[in-house]
Structure 1
Amino acid sequence: MARGSWKSPTEYRLYTEEQRQRRDSSVWTLVQGILAPLQFVVCILSAILVVRFLMTGAGYEAATLSVLVKTGFLFLIMITGAIWEKEVFGQYLFAPAFFWEDVVSFGVIALHTAYVWGLITGAIGPAALMWLALVAYAAYVVNAAQFLWKLRLARLSAASATVTGPEVSA
């Protein structure tokens, strides 16, 4: 079965055995495992501050700082994720197993970067910046869901391989 293809979740093969070993031995796997939930918590807190500003007009500075912190986490996880992808799959981005996740990640990065650009240049007003942040967060949630789905498929695949034995590749 080709990597990245499946008939059912338990038949899905995200990693070859060598890639799985590289994944499991990489320090970047741990880094991603720490950064991903931290970024999610920062996103939730920031979204609360952004919505508070949009509803009340209060707390613009706190909301802005929170979006910048969220953006910092995004760039950090993207850089470390690219290093992880290189160690596991042999290329920094767009490895077949994570191609669409990387594509959507670039959209998320573009939205966050547009926010920073709008803030620095003053080209986008405060309310529009906050709406842009919420759009960026919505895209981030879609991207996070992509990665969680892949993680679930990989775990189901690993459980299936344990029960049925290793996959024989041609």
Structure 2
Amino acid sequence: MLAGLYTPEQRRRRDASPWTLVQGVLAPIQFAICLASIGCILHYLATGEGLWLATASAVVKTFALYAIMITGSMWEKVVFGRYLFAPSFFWEDMFSMVVLALHTAYLASLFTGALSPHGLLALALVAYATYAINAAQFLLKLRAARLARDQHSVETLAGAVG
């Protein structure tokens, strides 16, 4: 199944799409923002100092997530013909909805004052944990597909030679 992550036509559209590059650039940027934000949050939780920076970093992380989700849905539309829930990435997209919900709950709680600073930053850390799981889902899926494709190429070459 993973060898069939993309049809030849989907692979061609993926390789030709500028959204593929955008995703490749945004993903590590978002990861770096997440790591920096975790550092800011943990610093505040440990020392009680830097609430503004911890809060701002979580807001920046949330907007980075929104950017990658919007551009990712554009990528999915170009490659698979739908904005979300293409069969090849259905479960990753489903879990992405949990990630989005938690990040959005963070912003809603921040703007409504529904949580204390500690509660708010704990929610941010939970949201980051789901983001890490979701990123791992995508990376493992893409790696498995690449390995399956490479194995298929080796078998095809071996069949042609033998």
TM interval, short-chain normalised: over 0.9
1:138-157 alignment runs, 5 A limit:
138-157=129-148
> Please, which runs of 5 or more residues in structure 1 have no aligned partner?
7-11
SS at match of 1:71: helix
Question: What is aligned with 2:160?
Answer: none
In the alignment, which of 31, 39, 44 is matched to residue 35 of structure 2?
44
> What is the deviation of 1:123?
1.1
TM-score of the pair, normalised by structure 1: 0.89
2:103 matches 1:112:
yes
In structure 2, C-alpha distance between the alignment counterparts of 1:149 and 1:93, rounded to whole Å: 19
> What is the deviation of 1:13?
2.1
In the alignment, which of 12, 16, 21 is matched to residue 7 of structure 2?
16
Runs of 4+ in 1 over 4 A off after TM superposition: none
TM-score of the pair, normalised by structure 2: 0.93
From the two aligned structures, give the one with the greater helix fraction: 2
1:68-147 alignment runs, 5 A limit:
68-147=59-138
The alignment covers a number of residue pairs equal to 157
In structure 2, C-alpha distance between the alignment counterparts of 1:113 and 1:121, rounded to whole Å: 12
SS at match of 2:49: coil
In structure 2, C-alpha distance between the alignment counterparts of 1:165 and 1:39, rounded to whole Å: 38
Larger displacement relative to structure 2 (34-43 or 157-166):
157-166
> Please, which runs of 5 or more residues in structure 2 have no aligned partner?
158-162
Per-residue CA shift, 1:91-137, capped at 9, x if unaligned?
A: 00000000011111110010010110011011111000000000000
1:126 counterpart letter in structure 2? P
Identical counterparts, % of pairs: 57
